[in-house]
Amino acid sequence: MSTDISIKPAGALATSIFVTPPNSSVRDAVPTELAAPKAVTAVERVSAVSTEPQSLPGTLSHQITIDRAAAAIVYQTIDERTLEVVRQFPDDAMLRRRAYFRSLDLQKPDPGQTMPTDRKA
């Protein structure tokens, strides 16, 4: 992949905090009498599961590059500590497909050119 152009954003990234309200079913739960191995206790607070990679705030940078082979703009999120690509759109497989099909399109003859034909009968 070609990295000819790199555009970095100016300013800080906006972060958002999600707070879940207390669950009413936990407050209104009815106590049960079960044996210790079968007992279940209600959890008051459950932390949200995140599919984002674990990193410290401010360690992610965003980069925009142009892949000339695929003729596509690539958006990347990079971890500044490890310099690894955390997220990328479009992904590598899509860029390879675009580059392959673009090379096939460039090998086709121009539609304005006429193919030589045999006019003798």
Residue 70, domain extent: 1-11+57-106
35 in a domain, yes or no? no
Residue 61 included in any domain: yes
pTM, 2 dp? 0.43
Structure tokens at 57: 């705030």
The 3 state secondary structure assigned to 31-66 is CCCCCHHHCCCCCCCCCCCCCCCCCCCCCEEEEEEE
Per-residue confidence (pLDDT) for residue 100, from 0 to 100 = 93
b/e per residue, 77-102, with b = 16+ CB within 10 A? bbeeeeeeebebebeeeebeebbeee
Average pLDDT, the chain: 75
Residue 45 predicted with pLDDT over 70: no
Residue 34 in any domain: the answer is: no
pLDDT tens, 56-79?
Answer: 566 888 989 898 888 889 999 988
Instruction: Please indicate whether residue 95 or residue 45 has the higher confidence score (pLDDT).
Output: 95
pLDDT tens digits, 68-110: 888 889 999 988 888 888 999 988 899 999 999 999 988 887 7
Q: Ramachandran region of residue 69, left (φ > 0), alpha (ψ -120 to 50) or beta?
A: alpha
In a domain, 99, yes or no: yes
Sorting pLDDT into bands at 50, 70 and 90, what band is 37? confident
Task: Give the alpha-carbon dihedral of 35, 36, 38, 44, to 10 degrees.
Answer: 120
What confidence tens digit (pLDDT) does each residue in 15-24 have?
666 666 666 7
In a domain, 42, yes or no: no
Task: Count up the domains in the chain and report the number.
Answer: 1
Higher pLDDT pick, 107 / 47: 107
Domain presence at residue 96: yes
Name the residue with higher pLDDT: 71 or 42: 71
**Banded pLDDT at 26 (limits 50, 70, 90):** low
